[in-house]
Chain A
């Protein structure tokens, strides 16, 4: 492994003239101990790249603890930014360039197989000559471990450089790193300074000024010392674009949808959506209520929906579990409610900062009794925005609970998308305070559709008592079998009515073939990219992505019939088919696979993983090859394609 030590200032004569490598895409990671600002550095790099016209996808690498001990692989905190000439829909496979603040956090990424075998690594040099023998030994043993791959390791005196401007370089290294990346990738420094101003000026002018100096320091250092540049040409967008992460898109979508109340309780990885609302909601006339617990957050949202326009609650898996009884109440009383579940790894506290898609069945079937509800899953950052508008309109129109299933990948992922064109109709409040016409009942179910207009407190002639007990159309408590049968049918019928209004999902690739891959949620970009790769090799594979999980979009059985085999790809657990004791009959499947088998009676297979990170397209492509009947796996598939650790 070539190691370069570039600690001393080169003279003008020795300054290398840089080689410019032009690439259609490049993936960068910044990894550090927690609290060293790697994410902020990467967010700015990603946002500026997007603003310059590059396709971008970012994924944050977040340890579960706020302050894990320094210099341990488990504490690795960072961010991956995949930048492309065209649109980028997922975090890709291997990282090409790494900025690492110490060798232990770098090891974490190396061990996960996250780095390309020819990756360039810019690493803090101070550990190599650290006075502590233990650290020096750790450094040496890390270098030995890293030498199994052909990385290019460049030692950078990050702290030494930062110390020329500040006393505590821990808080400044990230801006130095950003400066280096700006130089390497030719990023627009004015735009970067704008982003720094946006992030730090509200803290203090002094911090802003210092960060700008550090940025310049990193830029100048790279200019003087690095012998390479990377050029990922940008494609100027043909329409106005915006760039944000998924939780910001959910928060802004909530504003666009006209929500006026969101009740929540802090939970990772959902909370940043509430942070966004906490900052903006007041100005829009909305209230972000931080309740005393998850249960109360659901209760406040339901109370608010009952008394006015539909309200919102935002949570993640464990919070969803606590809200279960209230969700049942909302279903039973047909009180509209929108719940955002930003999924993380489970069960229990599980993997709080890591992505997973394993709340689907809990959302659908988590309530005792029959509790039909609408479940939609955005697949992109753009869909996070629009899902909120769709969710509120469905909740109000169908007088029902709508769950928006996002996940940790979308939550922190940053991607540019076409600027939404706000529409007044999105924000319209169905808030009727006129007198109720004589004879109106609280549940005037249309016997065909199950739809009814709700009565809101304040409406004269309307008073009735809403109850979580089974009730007839007058909201009178009624336990007789006939009433329960009919009321259950009315609550359920609404889903069929909604389904009749949905379009069949479109198929990515040919309309028929050997294998149809079915996915949902944030995996769309990686699945489509994997399908494209295998199709280039001649594989007869297509993909289909579901936005609606309840009701399922129409036409699935017909679509499935056109393929020899159907297989879901999901970020949740399923038994490996060849594991001990596992048979075709007892194998536990991915959550969407269960659902599709039940609804289509097709023998749907699944390939699912719980790696605690997004799926990589190469791993999906390899799985596709193994599921395709006639095509042998590509002999030279990259190592990372053998599966995600």
Chain B
């Protein structure tokens, strides 16, 4: 809340300075209605922590989502939210950012949203590289519609639509993201490693471009087992560490498998994404210098009178 100090002249307080400080309660929206044990709870907590840590103004922050369990996300926050249609969160976010570069934009998508019905938008949004954080909450299943195969469902995993097991090898979102021209930030983290999740979200928020973060996420109802090995055995996980990536010293006791990876090395990033021997968490790729669409499309604003002058000049060109 805005705080004013006692001053003698009322004019000094006519325009308030924004020295509000925000606490967790300033961001908490409706009580989350995800299933108990759903990884989305942990992600919501990490995001709220980020909002507090970065003191983001609720009215200047917009969470855009699609459709699916994870897309309920904006309802549980007290920022602006746009809970749109399935697969189309990224175009909406593009419109918000194009109209209002001053707003901080987060995009929350599930694996169906981002990698299936909205896959086309995903590729192009990464190429636009507008400054926003795009989160893929990947539980490798369609949960809201009750247990159908998604592109990231592991091969062989049985669902209601593919009861004999998923036919195809699972799609690897990190490989795809690293293949997109003008991609500038690609990272992977997991909801069951909260410290890493928070550190990755913070790096993503601070990135000057589109930060794509895949968050491995358990669905306790339909895919409880798929990340079980990685949850129980830290040695299955390899942390990608680097000063330009994500460093979480407190994790070093638990996660012994660490690999120093320079996030500016795109070829190495692609190799690491493609090798399926371990679950790798960290920043695969980062380049602060990629062109951003909102910078390329910056326009000058005119007063109504100036626009009127321009319009009259334009009509002159078509005058008889």
Contacts and interface: CB of A to CB of B under 8 A. Distances in A.
Interface string A464-492: 11111100000011000000000000000
A511 interface: no
Interface string B85-113: 10010111111111110110000000000
Given A458-B59, A458-B102, A466-B81, A422 B312 contact: yes
Interface size class of B (residues with CB under 8 A): 35 or more
B58 interface: yes
Interface in A268-290: 280, 282-287, 289
Contact of A469 (B29, B83, B99, B320): B83
B75 interface: yes
Interface string B292-307: 0000010111101101
B99 A307 contact: yes
A469 B85 CA distance: 9
A558 interface: no
Contacts of B301: 285
Contact of B83 (A243, A416, A428, A467): A467
B83 A466 contact: yes
A326 B88 contact: yes
A242 interface: yes
B79 interface: yes
B273 interface: no
B124 interface: yes
Contacts of B29: 465
B80 to A, nearest CB: 4
B85 A468 contact: yes
A569 interface: no
A575 interface: no
A531 to B, nearest CB: 28
A306 B297 contact: no
A73 interface: no
A291 B63 CA distance: 21
A326 B90 CA distance: 13
Contact of A465 (B82, B100, B124): B82
A465 B76 CA distance: 9
A627 to B, nearest CB: 38
A645 B277 CA distance: 69
B92 A258 contact: no
Given A457-B100, A463-B59, A465-B29, A302 B95 contact: yes
Interface in A206-263: 237, 240-244, 248, 252, 255-256, 258, 260-261, 263
A28 interface: no
Interface stretch (A36-44, A82-90, A292-300): A292-300
Contacts of B120: 292-293, 296
B85 A325 contact: yes
A419 interface: yes
Contact of A295 (B91, B97, B310): B91
Interface in B302-320: 302, 304-305, 307-308, 310-312, 314-315, 317-320
A296 B91 contact: yes
Contacts of B307: 255, 258, 284-285, 427
B82 A284 contact: no
Interface string A29-62: 0000000000000000000001101000000000
B100 A308 contact: yes
A298 B88 CA distance: 10
Contacts, number: 190
B74 interface: yes
Contact of A301 (B64, B95, B97): B95
A329 B92 CA distance: 11
Interface in A52-102: 53
B58 A458 contact: no
B305 A424 contact: yes
Contacts of A325: 85, 88
Contacts of B319: 240-242, 419
Given A51-B320, A457-B59, A304 B96 contact: yes
Contact of A237 (B90, B300, B320): B320
Given A255-B314, A284-B307, A326-B85, A459 B59 contact: yes
Nearest to B89: A299
19 contacts: A198-B317, A255-B307, A261-B99, A282-B299, A292-B121, A296-B120, A296-B121, A300-B92, A300-B94, A300-B95, A301-B95, A305-B99, A306-B92, A420-B315, A428-B304, A458-B60, A465-B63, A465-B83, A467-B81
Interface of B: 29-30, 58-60, 62-64, 67, 74-75, 77-85, 88, 90-100, 102-103, 120-121, 123-124, 297, 299-302, 304-305, 307-308, 310-312, 314-315, 317-320
Interface of A: 50-51, 53, 198, 237, 240-244, 248, 252, 255-256, 258, 260-261, 263, 280, 282-287, 289, 291-293, 295-309, 311, 325-326, 329, 416, 419-420, 422, 424, 427-428, 457-469, 476-477
